[in-house]
Amino acid sequence: MRAFGSAVTTALVFALLGSCAGRPTPEEARRFVEQAEARLKELAYEAELASWVQATYITHDTEILAAKAQAKMRAAVAELAKEAVRFDGLELPEDVARRLKLLKLSLSLAAPSDPKEAEELAQIATRMESAYGKGKYCPEGGRCMDLEEITRIMAESRSERRLRDVWIGWRTIARPMRKDYVRFVELANKGARELGFADTGEMWRSKYDMPPDAFAAELDRLWEQVRPLYLALHAYVRRKLREKYGPEIVPARGPIPAHLLGNVWAQEWANIYPLVAPRNADPGYDLTSILKRRHVTPRQMVRYGERFFVSLGFDPLPETFWERSLFTKPRDREVVCHASAWDIDAEQDLRIKMCIDITAEDFTTIHHELGHNFYQRAYSKQPFLFRDSANDGFHEAVGDTIALSVTPEYLVKIGLLDRAPDASKDIGLLLRRALDKVAFLPFGLLIDQWRWKVFSGEIPPERYNQAWWELRRKYQGVAPPVERTEEDFDPGAKYHVPANVPYTRYFLADILQFQFHRALARAAGCKGPLHRCSIFNNKEAGKRLIAMLEMGQSRPWPEALEALTGSREMDATAILDYFAPLKEWLDKQNEGQPVGW
């Protein structure tokens, strides 16, 4: 398979090969970058279209087409990245040097230069993602259940036996992936080494405008800032679940059984709020019930999200967004329901793909996905290699920052509530949000801790599952409800592993969204508690946000962070500020109780 098609111009060929006279020139470097960007934009468009069809029409044929388009794109990027090395050490204009650097770091999956291996890697990647999308648990003698139904059961059931059954059942879809994943790691590492990295994990950690080891240390620093808050929440939830399910199921000390936390992966715990809610802290409203009572449609849910961004000064989404997005699960075909935002042409063809349920959770998720879309359009005027977020945590944080402004006061302004509950209800509101945001932090960290160790060889294939649960116990304090073995491949039951989507971005986003929110709330002149501040309809806050988004990846992320917050350092104290009243309350509830595991 050729890395480049016949449309490659003579100028690009010269840029790739360099002159025979000797050392390349800065002008050759600029020409190389510009021609590379033009070619990559074309290939990215083809790959995005093929991937969209594959994700929304899962068939044997669409899988092949998507795999071929992705292989073509990866091969071209890998080839260009390797050729870009010839300009190392050259004194270049700052924008050219940064674009060359980003080119070398632009892949989360580097294809080996061998065409057969590159195609094999693309086929494995597509096969694993499709296996996840088509995954069903088919109990013996029973009806098959897809992830949507299992998700609802995990959220709503209070039967320990039922929860354990579907928890185990969903993980049966991942067992067949194990062999593929071993080969996937081998091929991915080979491609990364050809780009000069020790392995794929080092390649991922090199994308953050600092040395890979320094970035890993930065994550440790941020986790230590928030760990006391997580420990307090964990101890309180464990005690409440022990009261519900009994000491034979939930220990007084030790990890919490993972199937009891209201989520297939125990990554967010808001669904068990009714089990752990404090007395007399009913927030006074249920957004899910309100939305359903008003017969809000999936499209109207998305309109609410769009209106928030427009209120800050953003232009409305293009009409093609509404024509081409997928908002509901089709009845006649298989689709990947995992919510995602798409920038098909790197300009105006923005879409979301999501099987929307009329719930408060999906109301928030819509804001998150639209955050990607508005970010994508904001930086669309930048050179192609700068059309991304300052770092990938920024992309994930923007929509969630907006969601933090979905306060009771905001719901009153848009007519979904008659009046906001008084401050005496705040502990309930904060606890519900902490069950999402604070509970997620260690999960957001450990996914890539596992993968980095797998890519480096520290975790060999024969310890994949054991090491997975060791990390889940270390960071989250959760344990499987039944014994797991190396015949299982529980990491594969989480979409981002078979889809090879780096996950540290979500941990960073959980930190950054509160840092962004604190800065924007101050810009908006909010005087009340941070958790009651909404920037809805505030053009000054919107001006700051837009200015940062338009930078894209043109500058190192500390500069983008400074443009919004005034600080060049990520800071988890904002999440502590936001949840300060809850932390004080949790500490009182945990007096005399074991904390930690």
Give residue 19's pLDDT. Answer: 41
- CA-to-CA dists, residue 100 to 79, 97, 268, 416, 447, angstroms: 13, 5, 38, 49, 29
CA-CA distance, 270 to 436, in Å (whole number)?
5
Q: pLDDT tens for residues 35-44?
A: 999 999 999 9
Residue 286 pLDDT level (bands cut at 50, 70, 90): confident
Question: Who contacts 5 (Cβ-Cβ below 8 Å, separation ≥6)?
Answer: none
Are 232 and 586 spatial neighbours (Cβ–Cβ below 8 Å)?
yes
Tell me if 549 is assigned to some domain: yes
DSSP, res 476: I
Residue type, 277: A
Torsion 37-43-49-51 (CA) sign: negative
Strands 256-257 and 340-343: unpaired
Domain final residue pick, 153, 170, 205: 205
Tell me if 232 is assigned to some domain: no
The pLDDT of residue 393 is above 50: yes
The pLDDT of residue 20 is above 50: no
For residues 397 and 521, membership in a common domain is answered with yes
The two tokens of residue 484 are: 């797991």
CA-CA distance, 107 to 200, in Å (whole number)?
10
Q: Which residue has the tokens 């998150």?
A: 368
Tell me if 15 is assigned to some domain: yes
Tell me if 346 is assigned to some domain: yes
Q: pLDDT tens for residues 505-527?
A: 999 999 999 999 999 999 999 98
Q: pLDDT tens for residues 464-480?
A: 999 999 999 999 999 99
Cβ–Cβ contacts within 10 Å for residue 580, how many?
A: 15
Q: pLDDT tens for residues 207-230?
A: 999 999 999 999 999 999 999 999
Tell me if 258 is assigned to some domain: no
Number of H helices, E strands in the chain: 24, 6
DSSP character string of 148-186? HHHHHHHHH---HHHHHHHHHHHGGGTTTHHHHHHHHHH
Give residue 280's pLDDT. Answer: 76
Q: Is 350 helix (H, G, I), strand (E, B) or coil?
A: strand
Q: How many residues does the chain have?
A: 597
pLDDT (mean) for 239-266: 96
For residues 541 and 408, membership in a common domain is answered with yes
Domain boundaries, position 119: 10-129+181-205
Give residue 22's pLDDT. Answer: 67
Where is average pLDDT lowest: 324-328, 361-365, 501-505?
A: 361-365
CA-CA distance, 401 to 354, in Å (whole number)?
20
Are 519 and 463 spatial neighbours (Cβ–Cβ below 8 Å)?
no
- Above pLDDT 90, what percent of the chain? 77
pLDDT (mean) for 316-335: 94
Task: Give this prediction's pTM.
Answer: 0.84
The two tokens of residue 64 are: 């092949």
Are 329 and 337 spatial neighbours (Cβ–Cβ below 8 Å)?
yes
- Residues with a catalytic annotation lie at 338-339, 368-369, 372, 396, 496, 506
Residue type, 213: D
Are 206 and 105 spatial neighbours (Cβ–Cβ below 8 Å)?
yes
Strands 350-353 and 145-146: unpaired
CA 392 to chain centre: 9
Tally the domains of the chain: 2
CA-CA distance, 108 to 481, in Å (whole number)?
33
Tell me if 462 is assigned to some domain: no
Give residue 527's pLDDT. Answer: 87
Question: Who contacts 466 (Cβ-Cβ below 8 Å, separation ≥6)?
Answer: 486
Are 373 and 344 spatial neighbours (Cβ–Cβ below 8 Å)?
no
For residues 201 and 300, membership in a common domain is answered with no
Q: pLDDT tens for residues 179-193?
A: 999 999 999 999 999
- CA-to-CA dists, residue 225 to 161, 426, 572, 575, angstroms: 37, 23, 6, 9
Residue 423 pLDDT level (bands cut at 50, 70, 90): confident
Where is average pLDDT lowest: 43-52, 279-288, 357-366, 395-404?
A: 279-288
DSSP character string of 505-535? HHHHHHHHHHHHHHHHHHHTT--S-GGG---
Are 448 and 202 spatial neighbours (Cβ–Cβ below 8 Å)?
no
Cβ–Cβ contacts within 10 Å for residue 419, how many?
A: 11
The two tokens of residue 344 are: 């098909």
CA-CA distance, 138 to 439, in Å (whole number)?
30
The pLDDT of residue 18 is above 80: no
Tell me if 173 is assigned to some domain: no
For residues 201 and 322, membership in a common domain is answered with no
Are 374 and 309 spatial neighbours (Cβ–Cβ below 8 Å)?
yes
Question: What are the residues facing 352 on neighbouring strands?
Answer: 341
Give residue 229's pLDDT. Answer: 98
For residues 195 and 336, membership in a common domain is answered with no
For residues 186 and 66, membership in a common domain is answered with yes
The two tokens of residue 251 are: 């220990």
For residues 319 and 185, membership in a common domain is answered with no
CA-CA distance, 535 to 351, in Å (whole number)?
25
- Closest listed residue to residue 405, CA positions, set 463, 351, 345, 363: 363
Tell me if 525 is assigned to some domain: yes
Q: pLDDT tens for residues 402-416?
A: 889 988 888 999 999
Q: Which residue has the tokens 């071209």?
A: 76
Are 187 and 112 spatial neighbours (Cβ–Cβ below 8 Å)?
yes
For residues 189 and 318, membership in a common domain is answered with no
The pLDDT of residue 5 is above 70: no
Cβ–Cβ contacts within 10 Å for residue 293, how many?
A: 10
Q: pLDDT tens for residues 529-572?
A: 999 999 999 999 999 999 999 999 999 999 999 999 999 999 99
CA-CA distance, 523 to 533, in Å (whole number)?
11
The pLDDT of residue 4 is above 80: no
